[in-house]
Amino acid sequence: MTQVVLTYDPSLGHMFHNFPLLSFLPCAPVRYVPPPIYRYLSKPDVPADGYGRAVLAPYGIRKIEACLKTKSKLRAEVVHPNYLDRHIREDTKIIAVNTMDPLGIGPLTIMFNNCGREKSWVAYEFESLIHTINVLRRNRCPKAKLIVGGSGEWEFEIRPEMIDALRIDYVVQGEMDDIIHILFEGLIEDSIDNSIFFHGFRTTLFNQHGRATVTYVKDPRGRFITRHPFSKYRLPKIEDISTIVGGTISGQVEIMRGCGLDCDFCEVTTRPLRYYPPEKVLEEVRVNLRYGVRNAWFITDNQWAYMLRDPDYWPNREAIEKLYRTVMSQNGVTHANPMHATLAPPAADPELPMMISKIVGAGPGKHVGVQIGLETGSDKLILQHMSRKALPFRVGVDATWSEIVIEGQKALNAAYWLPAYTIILGLGGETDDDIWDTIGLINYMASLGLLFTVTPMALVSLGSLRGNQSLTDVYASLTPAQAALIYVSWRNTRRMAELLAWRLGSDNPILKLVTGGILTFGANFWVNSIERYFRKINPEAGRAIEKAKNYTTVYSKGTDFNKLRERFKEVKSRPAIIN
Ligand code: SF4
């Protein structure tokens, strides 16, 4: 029988007909996407085997499984959320749930559900899962502990009242995939080793200059658990992390941790850089192949930092090439792509994405998808909050940020890469001029026919997300320019839906037409609704949207990138400094 039941938020297990644009669907409010439409668009779900175990699962829960199965004697299984009743039994001691956005207050979801004012599908599905678990454990194993972890655990730091409301016993934070067996064994015996684990959470505070410091907040009730700052187990080295033993959704395999570009709003950058050697990545790719997954989706926050050696962030081209060649040379692997990257390296060296495309065989019918933080079109905000994101360029000296973005975008599209950008509204010091810089940049790139999506995310103060009574009306609090920026971002997504909905995805042609039709209709409905809403609540926003429809001004200093690249050749040939 299963002592440790590992499972995951059901919204992480939908395949969305393999349409990249549909993966945002769980962020949508339940009220506006009726259940039959949601259920259809989110299909298929990852399959379960004859015992109700997930055949494929999110990478994070597979890492926990790997640690338990290689370092402890606990009987653990990753169970499909639809088959929990087969595994939650009398002898179950722990039920652990992996989640990314449990309460629907993630930066993207709040743009769809207006800061949690509407119930989003992601929150609805999480609550339903927890309800099912609570019913099962009440009837079968009342002493079993319910634990939640994963990248969305921070939402409980903001709304701790939800821990009790959902009857969750512990919220576990941070990298635990080397010591989770020690924690689980301690929880089962009601004796947690307080020299290894801290009852509280690690958080990042920002001073008035936007500099981040990491601090630990104690939780007197002991519901939060993280690695103790003075634990004898430091953050794991790559060799201390177990290789997955089961298949992952979309072929997720990790290639590195950390980023190091120091954007002042980003927690990832506070973690040390560590890299998986290609051979260890290949081990996990081989596990996925055993489960029929022929794609390798590289988990990274910035692929260009893989095996970095240069202080100016010139990517280590040889290491990246070796990684892709190693994986693609494995029999059965058909594709590989990174989860996240940045834009400046392809602008500085357009051959970089092209090199990868040649290795993976990208072309008009086989794109390389990647998520990239474009963040803003404003030089001022880039310099204030994330100047190193433009490395190896210096914004304002070598080129403007808009020029770097356009050049990088062209290089990516030329190599059949499809970037999905995120932009941030509400960065400290932001003015309307900065917003118009971003609007001009998006519209200009769209006017060139370049292929990309832009998803706006509001930097809402975490304080305003606390409690249920004081929810910010994120839309009502937008300036007219911000409203216009949201409008042009979604208008661009509609353009992409119309261009690509019929081509992407893995359904048969008839289902592709159905899904493409719903997607195009949905994008139209969303853009028109946003425009109507903004016009209704603020006539000035309506006027800003009208202006934004044709605003294509881009801040440029006439940079000649060919000359710039020539100059960089000399820099690139210097000896490595960082190791
Ligand atoms: S580039 Fe991305 S991952 Fe890296 S520090 Fe900046 S925001 Fe964070």
Q: Which residues contact 551 (CB under 8 A, 6 or more apart)?
A: 436, 439, 440, 443
Lowest mean pLDDT among 94-108, 423-437, 452-466: 452-466
Whose tokens are 């990309």? That residue is 452
Instruction: Give residue 210's pLDDT band: very low, low, confident or very high (50, 70, 90).
Output: low
Strand 256-257 with 274-275, pairing: antiparallel
Is 172 domain-assigned?
yes
Q: Are residues 223 and 370 in the same domain?
A: no
**What pLDDT, on a 0 to 100 scale, did the predictor assign at position 107?**
84
Residues having CB within 6 Å of any atom of ligand 1: 259, 261-263, 266, 268-269, 301-302, 342, 373, 386, 389
Read off the amino acid at residue 457.
Answer: M
Least confident of 131-145, 159-173, 251-265: 251-265
Residue 489 CA to ligand 1 center (angstroms) comes to 21
In a domain, 107, yes or no: yes
Cβ 4 vs Cβ 84: under 8 Å: no
Query: Which residue segment(s) compose the domain that 110 sits in?
Result: 4-227
Ligand 1 centroid to 392 CA: how many Å? 15
The pLDDT score that the predictor gives to residue 229 is 93
Give the residue-averaged pLDDT of 274-283. 98
From the alpha carbon of 266, which atom of ligand 1 is closest?
8
pLDDT at position 469 is 45
112-139 burial, b at 16+ Cβ within 10 Å, e below that, comes to bbbbbebebbbbbbbbebbebbeebbee
Nearest ligand 1 atom to alpha carbon 342: 1
* For range 499-508, the mean pLDDT: 66
- pLDDT tens column, 526-567: 899 889 989 998 899 999 999 999 999 999 999 999 999 888
* d(CA 43, ligand 1 centre) in Å: 32
Do 171 and 294 lie in one domain? The reply is no
**Residue of 151, 204, 263 to mutate, ligand 1, most atoms within 8 A of C-beta:** 263
Whether residue 492 lies inside any domain: the answer is no
DSSP summary character for residue 100: S
How much is the pLDDT for 69? 97
498-to-37, 442, 504, 517 alpha-carbon distances in Å: 19, 17, 11, 9
Question: Do 112 and 173 belong to one domain?
Answer: yes
The pLDDT tens digits for 90-113 are 999 999 999 999 999 988 888 877
pLDDT tens readout for residues 315-362: 999 999 999 999 999 999 999 999 999 999 999 999 999 999 999 999
pLDDT of residue 509: 67
* 181 & 258 share domain: no
Whether residue 463 is predicted with pLDDT greater than 70 in this model: the reply is: no
Q: 387 and 267 in one domain?
A: yes
**Low-confidence winner among 8-12, 18-22, 289-293, 568-572 (lowest mean pLDDT):** 568-572
Q: So what's the pLDDT on residue 82?
A: 97
User: Are 390 and 327 part of one and the same domain?
Assistant: yes
**What percentage of the chain carries pLDDT values higher than 90?**
75
Q: How far is the CA of 384 from the centre of ligand 1 (A)?
A: 14
Do residues 222 and 250 share a domain? no
Alpha carbon of 24 to ligand 1 centroid (Å): 21
Mean pLDDT over residues 480-504, rounded?
88
Residue that finishes a domain, picked among 227, 257, 281: 227
**Whole-angstrom Cα distance, residue 527 to residue 519?**
12
Please state the pTM of the whole predicted model.
0.92
Residue with CA closest to ligand 1 atom 6: 263
Supply the residue whose CA is at minimum distance from atom 3 of ligand 1: 301
Residue 162: pLDDT band with limits 50, 70, 90: very high
**What is the rounded average pLDDT for all residues in the chain?**
91
Residue 487 located in a structural domain: no
On the question of a cis peptide bond just before residue 20, with omega within 30 degrees of 0, the verdict is no
pLDDT greater than 60 at residue 451: yes
Confidence of residue 214 (pLDDT cuts 50, 70, 90): confident
- Per-residue model confidence as pLDDT tens digits over 40-76: 989 999 999 999 999 999 999 999 999 999 999 999 9
> In this structure, is residue 178 part of a structural domain?
yes
pLDDT at 79: 98
| Mean pLDDT for the stretch of residues 381-402 | 95
- The CATH number for 422's domain is 3.80.30.20
Considering 199, 227, 255, which residue would you say is the last residue of a domain? 227
The pLDDT of residue 389 is above 60: yes
**Of 175, 195, 227, which residue constitutes the final position of a domain?**
227
Tell me whether residue 233 is in a domain: no
Q: Which amino acid is at 511?
A: L
Ligand 1 atom 8 nearest Cα: 266
Query: Would you say residue 462 has pLDDT above 80?
Result: no
pLDDT at 470 over 60: no
Pocket test for ligand 1, best of 271, 306, 386 (most atoms within 8 A of CB): 386
Whole-number pLDDT of residue 524: 87
Clarify whether residues 220 and 361 are in a common domain.
no
Lowest mean pLDDT among 82-91, 116-125, 403-412, 437-446: 116-125
By the 8 A CB rule, do 132 and 84 touch?
Answer: yes
Lowest mean pLDDT among 128-132, 267-271, 348-352: 267-271
Model confidence at 521, pLDDT cuts 50, 70, 90, reads confident
490 C-alpha to center of ligand 1: Å?
Answer: 23
**Same-domain status, 264 and 220:** no
Instruction: Give the residue carrying structure tokens 């808009």.
Output: 402
Nearest to 428 by CA among 263, 552, 553: 263
Number of domain units in the chain: 2
Distance CA 459, CA 535 (A): 23
Which of 261, 262, 388, when mutated, tests ligand 1's pocket best, judged by the most ligand atoms within 8 Å of its CB?
261
Q: Specify whether 195 is located in the same domain as 271.
A: no
Determine contact, residues 146/168, Cβ cutoff 8 Å: yes
What are the pLDDT digits (tens) for 247-267? 999 999 999 999 989 898 888
Q: Please tell me the chain's helix, strand, coil percentages from 3-state DSSP, rounded to the nearest 5.
A: 45, 15, 40
Mean pLDDT of 201-212: 72
In this structure, the answer to whether residues 188 and 281 fall within a common structural domain is no
- 538 in a domain, yes or no? no
Taking 50 as the threshold, does the pLDDT of residue 576 lie above it? no
Q: Is residue 251 part of a domain?
A: yes
Identify whether residues 54 and 149 lie together within a single domain.
Answer: yes
pLDDT at 23: 82
Compute the distance from residue 161 Cα to the ligand 1 centre, in Å: 30
